[in-house]
Amino acid sequence: MTQVATPVIAHLTPEELAALNKPRHDGKWWLGKIASTLGMAFIVIYCLVPFYWMIISSLRLPTMGLSNDYWPNPISFENYPGVFSAQNNFLRAIINSVVVSVTTTVLTLVFGIIGAYALARLRFAAKGFVLAIIIGASMFPGITLLLPLFKLFTGAYDWMPLHWLNQYQAAIIPSLSFGLPLCVWNLTAFFRQLPVELEQAAMVDGCTPGEAFRKVILPLAAPGVFTTAILTFIAVWNEFMISLTFLQARDMKTATVALSQFTGTLGFNTPFGSIMAAGVITTIPLLILVLFFQRRIVAGLTAGGVK
């Protein structure tokens, strides 16, 4: 007669089983947990301390701009109205930033959505080549593009004399050079993540590919489109060199350029307090976007890089 080997477990009582399965919190485990917590604390401090310094520097009295106290004494909000005073024209600068960023984002989305659909869904022989060109083009140094565009927009070329200096389109068009590839790349990654079966099911139900795209895919891709819009907006808001070159008039500067050229009441003054306040103001919209949509943004940033 064969003996069926009974599992060892059968000889244990439930209490003994529970005791054996309890996770062991030995010294090594605690060490790991402490190190991990310390590591997290390090990361948080690393990321936030310089920003903390900027915030408290903006909360000092205007005359104490270079004070090194770790906590402002007294706390004063005087720098903030000072940022918007007539001589700094910062409100106008923010409006300019908004106009340029929003227009560029909208344009890139319009071109990007249809382009990304083609790259994500359609099959054609030159797809790899097109993708490579689009991504490659975004890698070109800005200064190489800036020079001919600068000459073009100041009318130096007789065959196309434009005088677009200090007008919005002079900043929007060069921004497309990095905004559009970024948009296309992100959207392509998002569209790829959507299963093909959805469209096929819609087409089986009688939709044309275009209708399938509009009615089925786009609504589903809306989060991805939204995230791409945020990422593009942030990238264009961030932009410095192009705005520095093409939007020089006092009323046309964007927030980033205006911030870098802040002076105080006299020509020589360096108002650290107002500069930091302006920096905080310039960053707040982006931070709000980032904090509200952090999951989406993280997903968007990593979608392209991780398959």
Partner 1 sequence: MASKNKLARLTLSVLSATAILATAACGSSSGTAGSTTSASTDASWSKTGPINYVQGKDTSGNVQKVIDKWNALHPDQKVTLIELSDNADQQRASMIQNAQSKGASNYDVLSVDVVWTAEFAANGYISALPSNLDTSGYLKAAVDSGTYFNKLYAFPSTSDGALLYYRKDLLDAAGLKPPTTWADMKADCKTIQASTPGIDCYGGQFQKYEGLTCNIAEMVNSAGGQFLDDKGAPTVNTDAAVAGVQWAVDAFKDGTIPKAALTWQEEPSRQAFQDGKLVFLRNWPYVYSLANKTDGSSKVAGKFAVAPIPGLNGPGVSTLGGHNMGISTYSQNKGTALAFIQWWNSPENQKANTIATSNAPTWTALYTDTDLTSQFQYLPVLKASIDKAQARPKAVKYGDVTLAIQDAAYNALNGTTTAKAAMDDLQTKLTALVK
Partner 2 sequence: MAVTTAERTAPTTIKRKKNAFSDGQGALAAMLLAPTLLVMFFVTGIPIVMSIVEAFYRAKGGVDPNTGLVQTGSSFVGLQNFTDIFAHPSIVVGVYGSMDRLINAFINTTLFTVVCVVLETILGVAMALIMARAFRGRGLVRASILVPWAIPTIVSAVMWKLIFNTDGVANKVLGLTNSPILWLGDNRYSQMAIIIADVWKTAPFIGLLTLAGLQTIPAEVYEAAKVDGASAWQTFTRITLPMVKPALVVAVLFRTLDTLRMFDLPWGMIGPGKYSVETLSVFAYLEMNATRYGQAAAYSIVLFLYIVLVAFLFVKLLGADVVGDEELKAINAQRKRMRELHRKQAKASASVRTNITSGSAAS
Please tell me whether residue 51 binds partner 2 under the rule CB under 8 A. Answer: yes
CB 188 within 8 A of CB 263: no
Does 73 engage in binding with partner 1 (CB under 8 A)?
no
**Residue 30 in the binding site for partner 2 (CB under 8 A):** no
Stretch that binds partner 2, among 4-12, 18-26, 81-89, 290-298 (CB under 8 A): 290-298
CA 117, chain centre distance (Å): 22
Among 59, 83, 109, 189, binds partner 2 (CB under 8 A): 189
Sketch the per residue contact string, 206 through 245, with partner 1: x for CB under 8 A, - otherwise: ----------------------------------------
Are 232 and 183 in contact, with CB atoms under 8 Å apart? yes
93 binds, among partner 1, partner 2, none (CB under 5 to 8 A by kind): none
Q: Which is nearer to partner 1, 65 or 181 (CB)?
A: 65
Cα–Cα separations (whole angstroms), residue 212 to 19, 114, 221: 57, 13, 12
| Rg, Å, the chain Cα set | 28
Q: Given the complex with partner 2, which of 151 and 250 has the nearer CB atom?
A: 151
In this structure, are residues 246 and 173 in contact, taking their beta carbons and an 8 Å threshold? no
The one among 15, 158, 197, 205 contacting partner 1 by CB under 8 A? 158
Among 2, 3, 6, 144, binds partner 2 (CB under 8 A): 144
Report the partner that residue 39 touches, choosing among partner 1, partner 2, none (CB closer than 5 to 8 A by kind).
Answer: partner 2
3-state secondary structure of 175: helix
List CB contacts of 174: < 8 A, sequence separation 6 or more: 142, 145, 146, 149, 242, 246
Q: What CA–CA distance (Å, rounded) separates 213 from 217?
A: 5
Q: Which does 250 bind (CB under 5 to 8 A by kind): partner 1, partner 2, none?
A: partner 1
Q: CA–CA separation, 160 vs 254, rounded Å?
A: 27
Beta strand residue intervals within the chain, DSSP E: none
- If one asks whether residue 80 binds partner 1 (CB under 8 A), the answer comes out as no
Neighbours of 104 (CB within 10 A): 27
Does residue number 54 form part of the binding site for partner 2 (CB under 8 A)? Answer: yes
34 binds partner 2 (CB under 8 A): no
Q: What is the pattern of x (binds partner 1, CB under 8 A) and - over residues 27-66?
A: ------------------------------------x--x
Length of the chain: 307
Q: List the alpha helices (DSSP H) in 194-271.
A: 196-204, 209-211, 218-237, 241-246, 255-260
Residues at the contact surface with partner 1, assessed by CB under 8 A: 63, 66, 87, 92, 95-96, 99, 154-156, 158, 160-169, 248-253, 261, 263, 265-270
